Structures are given as structure tokens and as C-alpha cells.
A = this chain, B = another copy of it.
């Protein structure tokens, strides 16, 4: 990994500690990269529960204890990976929301992108959704990546509420609806449905989306302007 690592060349520290910081910083970044890759691989192969932190550490080429200097617990390893993959996707999905298009269709697009992601590795997604519900304690025990996940989820929820407010201003949503409550409702439906969908032996994307659309439509119908 470090091809300039013999003692003779090591006399000048600057020779190795270039550009982006010293050796420490670079070693740390490199290790984090290897840990992510190892965790990704082992989780994919074995699933979250069967994966052991020992195997992840071994495959990353580090000692067991070292792993826990980079992630406070196993869950945070999973969140680390999922955050990296899900964040850009979420950002893209949120960007195309608009006040001018039908609410249900937009919701289905937004949630559909997530369903598509979950469908790529349903077993791992099932574990993630499970851990999502754990949200244990009141923030104390959660690792940084777990917190990141929930922060971004809250942002998404808020963004949906904002769109609802915009639609309200445009007259496409009942004026007397509480948009925050409505966003909570919609998200609750999404969570419950995705949970149930992923708890099937072999979740199929299309089936999941169909199961989602029905209660979502029902929830949306309560938001229609009077006489809609």
C-alpha cells in the first residue's frame, strides 16, 4: 500500500506527505476507503446479520479494534455505505419536485426512486429499514452516519411539506390542510409499505409500487381541494 515505505527514503517527511495533508490524514482516508469497500462487499455477500465485524476488518486489512475507531458500531458501517449511495439519489429526486404537477404522480416518482434503490439488494435493505426503526435512545447512542441518515430523512420530509405548501398556494391542495401533518402522513404510509414490501421472500419492484400507490392515493384524496 505504501510503496515509498523503506527507511532510506523516509528521511525527508515532505517526500511522502504531499498535497492533501500529512501521512496521518492520508492513511486515515485510505483506511476509511478500504473499510467502506470491505463492509460493502461483506454485507452484500452475507447480509447484514451474518456479516461479522471481524471479517470486515480482516478484508480491510486492519485489526479488529481498529474498525471501531472508524465506526462506533456495526450499524454505522451500514449507514455509512447507504448514505453514500442514497444521498445523491435523494437529492436528484427532490430536485424535480414542483408545485405544478399532480401530487400523487410526484410522490410515486419520489418514493419510486427509493424503491428502486431498495430493490437492488432487498436483503440488505430489509436490514437497513429495520435499523431505521431502531433510532435507539434520544440521539445519544447513535453514530454519526446513523445521525446523518436521519437528518437527511427529516430534510426530505420537510421538502415534501414545502412542496405541499407551494401547491396550497397554487390552489392544488386544500387551504385548511396542515402541510406538516400531511407530510408526516405521507411518509408514514411510505415507511409502512416499504417495510411490508421488503419483508416478503422476494420483493418485486412493480408489486411494491402498486401496493404503495393505493394507500397513498387515499391519503392524497384527503388533501384535494373541496369539489376536486
Contact = CB atoms under 8 A, between A and B. Distances in A.
Contacts of A219: 185, 218-219, 222
A223 interface: yes
Contact of A200 (B138, B187, B191): B138
Most chain B beta-carbon neighbours within 10 Å: one of A135, A177, A185: A185
Nearest to A49: B136
A214 interface: yes
Contacts of A136: 130
A191 B194 CA distance: 13
Interface string A148-186: 000000000000000000000000000001100110110
Contacts of A195: 133
Contacts of A185: 189, 215, 218-219
A88 interface: no
B223 A218 contact: yes
Contacts of A182: 215, 218
Contact of A214 (B133, B181, B218): B181
B188 A135 contact: no
Contacts of A220: 222
A200 B182 CA distance: 21
Most buried by B among A199, A201, A220: A199
A192 interface: yes
Given A138-B201, A188-B189, 14 more contacts: A130-B133, A181-B215, A181-B218, A182-B215, A182-B218, A188-B188, A188-B191, A191-B192, A192-B192, A218-B223, A219-B219, A220-B222, A221-B222, A222-B222
4 A-B pairs with least C-beta separation? A222-B222, A188-B192, A133-B133, A185-B215
22 contacts: A130-B134, A130-B136, A135-B199, A138-B199, A138-B200, A138-B201, A178-B214, A178-B218, A184-B215, A185-B219, A187-B192, A188-B188, A188-B189, A188-B191, A188-B192, A188-B193, A192-B192, A218-B222, A219-B219, A219-B222, A221-B222, A222-B222
